[in-house]
Amino acid sequence: MTQRRSFLKKISAATFGIGNLAALRPVFGYSVNRQAKKPVVVSTWRHGLAANEGAWQILSAGGSALDAVEAGVKVTEAEDNLSVGYGGLPDRDGRVTLDACIMDEKGECGAVACLEEIMHPVSVARLVMEKTPHVMLVGEGAQQFALDQGFEKQNLLTEKAEKAWKEWLVEAEYKPIINIENHDTIGMLALDEAGNLSGACTTSGLAYKMHGRVGDSPIIGAGLYVDNEVGAATATGMGEAIIKICGAHLIVELMRQGYTPQEACEVAIKRISKQKNAKDIQIGFLALGKNGEVGSYALHKGFDYAMYAGDKNTMTDVGSFYR
């Protein structure tokens, strides 16, 4: 009889855990959820405004979220702003290496890492998804694939970026600066009129990194994850910290369990806050639910995101764990 009562208690506890997720999940109250009617596109940082414009041209015409996110982040990849893609700050050897990934509503995905001399890594990533049996190509292999697909080599190191690199070489001190070096990434999520989600993430990586370093941006489940039944998430900031918790996947799985996009982002940031260098790095998460609900949260102040919905393209400052 005693064993039977113990067994029933365990069953009851398990049932409570499954059926009362809403009561159990933490609510930090730092930010307010935003909800928009489809279509909607969101992207990280202020350069997301121009990227959203590119995506909106497709979404507003009834186009797919997949086409929209590719077109959107390509805007940022082509800008000469010491950031993503062309003109991005190089690694410590003076080489511009690019990482990108893309994921569609079917769960298909593609990525490239440590890609050199190719203007639009996100488009190469899409071709990896659509034309190969693989998910990720890296380095020389990624470049050769791009050339085989008709891309042309281009010098991505601008005079401005080269000048900054040479100035850095004087002391060669590697010390990422919160809310400065994180701007080398753009993550974008879109929900189209058909109700389908897609996402893309592209970066030139941390300035003056070791050659061959790859962060979270091209890694499915870390810098980007899409589940068309639930929602999507993307990340920006110190990639090593994001990889350690599989950030984007964690957020989407929390959403599947009943957390709102906002709550899921807050839980992920709280988890990163336990890492030993949390006070010295910046992390920002951005999530989009299947119903158009948006959530975002950061480790430190200074992160923002752009949102285009209802013919308005606006910026939002994001709440943070450390105030």
CA–CA dist 53, 164 (Å, integer): 30
C-alpha 308: how far from its chain's center?
17
**Per-residue DSSP letter, 211:** T
Buried-exposed string 79-107: b where 16+ CB fall within 10 A, e elsewhere: bebbbbbbbbbbbbeeebbbbbbbbbbee
Rounded Cα distance between 323 and 317, Å, is 13
* 136 within 8 A of 120, measured Cβ to Cβ: no
Q: For residue 184, what are the contacts with CB-CB under 8 A and spacing of at least 6?
A: 83, 84, 88, 89, 203, 204, 205, 206, 207
Residue 27's region, left for phi above 0, alpha for psi from -120 to 50, else beta, is: beta
User: How many Cβ atoms are within 10 Å of 151's Cβ, its own excluded?
Assistant: 19
Nearest alpha carbon to residue 200 among 173, 225, 222, 182: 225
Q: Which of 76, 158, 185, 203 is catalytic?
A: 185
202 is catalytic: no
Tokens of 243: 């990889």
Active-site annotation, residues: 185
